[in-house]
Amino acid sequence: MSSDPPTAARGARPGPRIALAILLAAATVAGCGGTFGPAQAEDATPGTLVPLEDGRRINLRCVGRGSPTVILESGFSAYSRAWTKVQPALARTTRVCAYDRAGYGFSDPGPLPRDGAAIARDLDRALEAAKEEGPYVLVGHSAGGLYARLFAARRPGEVRGLVLLDPTVEALAPPGRDGLTGIRRRVQRCLAAAEARPQPAPQDPAWEGCVPGWADDHVRKAARDPETWRDQLSELDAIFGRTSEQVARLGGLLGDVPAYVITASDTAASAQQVGLIKPQSLAELQHLRLALSFGPGFQRTVYSSHLVMIDRPEVVIEAVSAMVKAARADSRPEPLPPSETTTLEPDPAAEATPPTP
């Protein structure tokens, strides 16, 4: 990404172009928790609870053997369960680790603020404590794409590739003007229910949207812990604040890291169309610009909802496997297959200088 992403002054109302970019970015945060299907037996138990120096534990689920190690970073409100359609297939050929961020799944809550730097630091220290060594290929979904980039910046010599799935793109806006009001209200309502004394009964409408229907007993218990919601609220408030600032400061640090950027057709279709003669999806343009900031970087649009790893696991498996193959050969990854649907024109000059949102 450019070292000068869209910005807005703190407390100021974003201008029309900035507001548009923020609304688009917010579209790739909404609904990240998703519906992952019925709980499986393995979901009721943790993987490896890795102790950190401050006494907290981070839950790592690592399977398979081989190098590089693939790290799976979930989007907002999702945890290691999001990758159940992807991780087993990838583990047939290499080591693959999914994990629960602080306050998610089986991981202990973390100190505030829960911004991208704190999240990347926790992952870094958990992998070190678990002796899960690099090199790595990072897979980041939605807001997890921001966290994957921040982790890559912590270990630039060990990260051999990025696969970003419908990633959130950094943009600055204060809470309340960041397009995340609906999600924020849900988290605040869940926090209020968890803080209430006595707590509402499990069937009380106060918990609506807080405890998914697929949840196992552990997830239901965690939903009643106020720290769970304080962590999520802090993370949400940071996405287009501290976290975006941290990603913007990376500049060209990751310019030599190869990357695949996959855009969901639903995101592309719901985004603003820019241009009069041949309108193009702002989502695809932003994702193309992100891809072009890496070396090399490729963008592809596929038919899918925002939850690409649930709707199209074969697309994710294919892309990650190709990046793993390139890392093993110490070579440039092959270009992604053609987009399944796209408004982008193949004109190289147009692709080299997409409009700034």
Q: Are 147 and 116 in contact (CB under 8 A)?
A: yes
pLDDT tens digit string along 80-108? 989 999 999 999 999 999 999 999 989 99
Q: What is d(CA 154, CA 166) in angstroms, rounded to the nearest whole number? A: 23
pLDDT tens digit string along 103-135? 998 999 999 999 999 999 999 999 999 999 999
How large is the average pLDDT for residues 278-289?
A: 92
| Helix, strand or coil, per DSSP, at residue 196 | coil
Q: Are 129 and 136 in contact (CB under 8 A)?
A: no
pLDDT at 6 over 80: no
pLDDT of residue 168: 96
Q: What is d(CA 223, CA 346) in angstroms, rounded to the nearest whole number? A: 47
Classify domain 16-177+241-352 by CATH number.
Answer: 3.40.50.1820
How large is the average pLDDT for residues 17-26?
A: 56
Q: Residues 6 or more apart from 165 whose CB is under 8 A from it?
A: 139, 140, 141, 142, 145, 262, 264, 308, 309, 316
Residue 3 burial by CB count (10 A; 0-12/13-18/19+): exposed, middle or buried? exposed
pLDDT tens digit string along 155-177? 989 999 999 999 999 999 988 88
Q: What is d(CA 16, CA 272) in angstroms, rounded to the nearest whole number? A: 12
Question: Where residue 352 falls among pLDDT bands split at 50, 70, 90?
Answer: very low
Residues of the chain with pLDDT > 90, as a percent, come to 71
**Segments of the chain assigned to CATH 3.40.50.1820:** 16-177+241-352
